[in-house]
Amino acid sequence: MKIGIQTLVKARGAWQSFRSNHPNLLPFLRDISRKGLKEDVQVEILVHFPDGEEKNCGIRLKQSDLAFIDVLNEML
């Protein structure tokens, strides 16, 4: 997969905007990292839509998930 310089510049701007819009997210993720993600940790995501509908999903982390998270951390 090739990523061009224009895509990287665009992604950087979008990331900076996202961080500005959601200042509590990175400290929250740092706290989680300090605690340590381990196998069998359960992660839940709940989304509230403007029309009142909700969707949720839960996963229990496996060792292969942790390996993927490590790769993402190295990229960021």
Structure tokens at 59: 């996963």
- The residue type of 14 is A
Domain boundaries, the chain: 1-35, 37-76
Taking the CA atoms of the chain, what radius of gyration do you get in angstroms?
16
Query: What pLDDT, on a 0 to 100 scale, did the predictor assign at position 76?
Result: 65
- What's the mean pLDDT when you consider all of the chain? 91
Question: pLDDT band at residue 29, thresholds of 50, 70 and 90?
Answer: confident
Whole-angstrom Cα distance, residue 53 to residue 55? Answer: 7
Instruction: Assess contact for 54 and 48: CB atoms under 8 A.
Output: yes
Instruction: Assess contact for 62 and 39: CB atoms under 8 A.
Output: yes
Query: What pLDDT, on a 0 to 100 scale, did the predictor assign at position 33?
Result: 82
What percent of the chain clears pLDDT 90, i.e. is strictly above it?
67
Question: pLDDT band at residue 68, thresholds of 50, 70 and 90?
Answer: very high
